[in-house]
Amino acid sequence: MPIPFLFPILAATTAAVGARAQYVSGKTQQIELQRQAEEERMAAQSRELQRREELNRALAANVVGQAMSGISGEGTPASIALASAERASLSEATIGLSEKLKQAQLRRQAKSAKQAGYLAAGSTLLKAGVGLAETGALQAIGSKVKGAFKSGGKT
């Protein structure tokens, strides 16, 4: 009579393995998305540095151009340069915010993937428990265990 006893054990083992796989899958997705967020942060820093270097080159070229043409750095040229620098700064802030939002989105996706793995694992275990209960396998195991205790271990 070991065959009926084997079904619930196999079903429980299958459910546990499936739940573990779903948990690991969620955790793996979380790690991958966190890695992507970190890569995005580093790329954003690199792009910001490159934009600042380009802005500095453009501003330096403007100053040199004004100096070579004999225009003083006061008055209208200075106000134009200031307005240009303010627009560049606003653009930098907007781009920086956009990049931070993208990183935050990846972190939220990572957290969500982890939670989805937990939920899928829990669902698998619950479905297996319901399946075992519906087949009466749990009652059969319970009666065998109960009988073993009543008989003092002699079956």
Per-residue pLDDT of 43-61, as tens digits, reads 888 888 888 888 778 777 7
**Distance of alpha carbon 48 from alpha carbon 75, whole angstroms:** 30
Domain ranges of the chain: 7-150
- Dig out the tokens for 2 from the structure: 């070991």
pTM, whole model, 2 decimals? Answer: 0.54
∠ CA(12), CA(17), CA(21), 5° rounding?
145
Neighbours of 45 (CB within 10 A): 12
Instruction: Give the tens place of pLDDT for each residue, 14-39.
Output: 888 888 888 888 888 889 888 888 88
Question: For residue 138, what pLDDT band results from cuts at 50, 70 and 90?
Answer: low
Q: Show Cβ contacts of residue 10 under 8 Å, excluding neighbours closer than 6 positions.
A: none
The SS3 assignment for 1 reads: coil
Amino acid at 124: T
Query: How many whole angstroms separate alpha carbon 117 and alpha carbon 139?
Result: 30
Question: pLDDT for 61-120, tens place per residue?
Answer: 777 777 777 666 555 666 666 777 777 777 777 888 888 888 888 888 888 888 888 888
Cβ proximity of 73 and 149 under 8 Å: no
State residue 89's pLDDT score: 74
